[in-house]
Amino acid sequence: MFNRNYKEKTIESVLFSVSALTVVILLLICLFLFRDSLLLFKETSLLDFLTGKFWYPTSVNRQFGLLPLFFGSLIVTAGAILFAVPLGIASAIYISEIAHPKVADALKPFIEILAGIPSVVFGFFGLVILVPAVQNTFNLPTGQTALTGSIMLGIMALPTIITISEDAISSVPSTIKQGSLALGATRWQTIYKVIVPAALSGISAAVMLGMGRAIGETMTLMMVTGNTAVIPSFPGGILDPVRTMTATIALEMGEVPQGSAHFHALFAVGTVLFTITFLINLIADLIKNRYRFKVD
Partner 1 sequence: MTNNLKTYTILTLLVVGLVFLGIGCTGNENSEGPSEGAPAAESQSIFLKGSDTVLPLAQAEAEEFMIENTDKSVTVTGGGSGVGLTALIDGEVDIATASREIKTEEIEAAKANGIDPVETTIAYDGISVVINPENPVTELTFDQLRGIYNGSISNWEDVGGEDRQIVVISRDSSSGTYEYFKEEVLQGDEYRPDALTQPATGGIVGEVSQNPNAIGYIGVAYLDGSVKALSLDAGNGSEAPSSENILNGAYPLSRALYFYTNGEPSGLTKEFVDYVLSETGQSLVTEVGYFPIEQ
Footprint of partner 1 (CB under 8 A):
54, 56-60, 127-128, 131-132, 135, 141-144, 222-223, 226-230, 240-241, 243, 250-258, 260
Q: Residue 111's Cα: distance from chain center in Å?
A: 17
Minimum Å distance from CB 283 to partner 1?
30
Torsion of CA 78, 81, 83, 84, to 10 degrees: 160
The nearer residue to partner 1, 194 or 229, going by C-beta atoms, is: 229
CA dist., res. 64 & res. 52, Å (int): 7
Tell me how far apart the terminal alpha carbons of the chain are, to the nearest angstrom. Answer: 41
CB closer to partner 1, 191 vs 231: 231
**Which residue, 263 or 291, is less far from partner 1 as judged by CB?**
263
Q: Burial of 281 by CB count in 10 Å (0-12 exposed, 13-18 middle, 19+ buried)?
A: middle
Q: What's the CA gap between 53 and 56, in Å, rounded?
A: 10
Min. distance of Cβ 48 from partner 1 in angstroms?
17
Q: Which is nearer to partner 1, 48 or 252 (CB)?
A: 252
CA distances from 289 to 205, 241, 250 (A): 10, 39, 35
Residue 223 beta carbon to partner 1: minimum distance, rounded to whole angstroms: 7
Beta carbons of 142 and 224 less than 8 angstroms apart? no
CB of 282 to partner 1, least distance (A): 28
Closest approach, Cβ 121 to partner 1, in A, equals 15
Q: Which amino acid is at 84?
A: A
Q: Say if CB 158 and CB 122 are below 8 A apart.
A: no
Please state the closest distance from residue 151 (CB atom) to partner 1, in A.
Answer: 18
Residues 6+ apart with CB under 8 A from 249: 218, 266, 269, 270, 273
**Distance of closest approach, residue 291 Cβ to partner 1, in angstroms:** 28
Q: Between 142 and 277, whose beta carbon lies closer to partner 1?
A: 142
User: By C-alpha distance, which of 85, 67, 83, 86 is closest to 234?
Assistant: 67
Closer CB to partner 1, 78 or 133, in the complex: 133
Q: Which is nearer to partner 1, 119 or 228 (CB)?
A: 228
